Amino acid sequence: MNFEFPGAVPEIPVSDLKTAIAYYGNNLGFSIDWGAEGGGIAGISKGHCRMFLTNDAFREHYHNAGPVLVWLNLNSKEQVNELFGLWSASQEKIVSAPASKPWGLYEFTAADPDGNLFRVFYDFATPERERNV
């Protein structure tokens, strides 16, 4: 196999699709690309990040449930801090504030109303590790 995979598209389980669409659009700044309550699924995006929001009826066939944890890899500590500020101001539940971790990530964690978690991070150790190889 000699090809690259595209970016993964996580499925975020939500209890009420209409409420989640409004929350992800208004509070977290995602674009609502398509979908509605009747189909049980909506596509959202921000830049290169794409995700699906799905309700209980849509997920019933596969028996997948939440909450889930999604990692968002940003390009700098400044971007992590900026997103932290935006999400803090928009009523996102902050689980942990930005901090440098001993494993080489600068990160914070936030939760949506359904308890799904977002770990937003910048990997500051990888460039250093690559220089030492």
Kindly tell me if the per-residue pLDDT of 130 is higher than 60: no
d(CA 92, CA 27): 7
d(CA 35, CA 17): 9
pTM over 0.75: yes
CATH number belonging to the domain at 67-133, selected among 3.10.180.10, 2.40.50.1020, 3.30.70.20, 3.40.50.11030: 3.10.180.10
d(CA 55, CA 57): 6
Give the pLDDT confidence of 61-118 residue by residue, as tens digits. Answer: 888 889 999 999 999 999 999 999 999 998 889 999 999 999 999 999 999 999 999 9
Domains 7-63 and 67-133 alike in fold: yes
d(CA 54, CA 64): 10
> 72 — phi, psi (to 5°)?
-115, 115
CA distances from 25 to 18, 20, 32, 34, 132 (A): 11, 8, 6, 12, 42
At 18, is the pLDDT very low, low, confident or very high (cuts 50, 70, 90)? very high
Q: What value does the mean pLDDT take over residues 38-63?
A: 93
Q: Where are the domains of the chain?
A: 7-63, 67-133
> 126 — phi, psi (to 5°)?
-60, -45
Q: Is it true that domain 7-63 has CATH number 3.10.180.10?
A: yes
